[in-house]
Structure 1
Amino acid sequence: MVFNFDFFASEPEEQNANALIQYLQQQHPETLTRIAQSASPEIQQIITQNVQGLVGMLPSEDFNMAITTDRENLANLLASAMMTGYFLGQMEQRKNLEVTLSNTESLHPNPSPNRQAKD
């Protein structure tokens, strides 16, 4: 996954009104690329399938498709993909944390609260 810097080539008045775009423009390109590449292959696959499902995906060997849309609908599609990616990233972190905690608990089981200390 690579960050597309042409994303910033929007209308100048729109950029001035959008604090997030201003913030992104201030970041070093390597930082943005590293963040874009941090998504796991599983997340990239889910987002790809989600976008293909939204846009419609016919087999390329049988169909020659061209999809047209307006700027607002494309922006909504990209926003949806970004939110999906954020959500999936958080869920992946949660899953990894639960697995780590589960492994830690299996290594160091807590004594049962019903067990009484012997004198």
Structure 2
Amino acid sequence: MDNALESYIQSLSAEAIAQLSKPNPEALHVMERNIISMLGGLPSEHFEVTISTSRENLGRLLASAMMSGYFLNNAQQRMELEKSFQ
């Protein structure tokens, strides 16, 4: 981690970190749709869907979901920042 970023994060209050860690409902919805599209979006009330994978591939899916979450969080923060300047 960059020293300036590490110093900044360490200087944040527990409340600020808690606020930054809160999931955004819109971002969660987008992530949910993304994961469903990766796994197959057949409605469970009409289809019995079973997904099997290896531990390695599941780890990759988790990493992809985490990266998507970080991206969406950053995009949301940028959107809110741009709105505040308008």
Q: What's the TM-score bracket when you normalise by the shorter of the two chains?
A: 0.7 to 0.9
State percent identity of aligned pairs. Answer: 43
Runs of 4 or more consecutive aligned structure 1 residues displaced over 2 Å after TM superposition: none
**TM-score, scaled to structure 2:** 0.75
Task: Tell me, in whole angstroms, the C-alpha distance in 1 between the residues paired with 2:79 and 2:65.
Answer: 21
| Equivalent residue number for residue 60 of structure 2 | 76
In structure 1, runs of 5+ residues without a counterpart are: 1-30, 103-119
Deviation for aligned residue 1:82:
0.2
Return the structure number with greater relative CO, CA threshold 8 A, min gap 6: 2
What do the CA deviations read for 1:28-48 (whole angstroms, capped 9, x no partner)? xxx89x83xx12110000000
Compare CA radii of gyration and give the structure with the larger one: 1
Structure 1 counterpart of 2:73: 89
- Compute the TM-score of the two structures, normalised by the length of structure 1: 0.55
Structure with the higher fraction of residues in helix conformation: 2
Provide the rounded CA distance (Å) in 1 between the counterparts of 2:45 and 2:62. Answer: 26
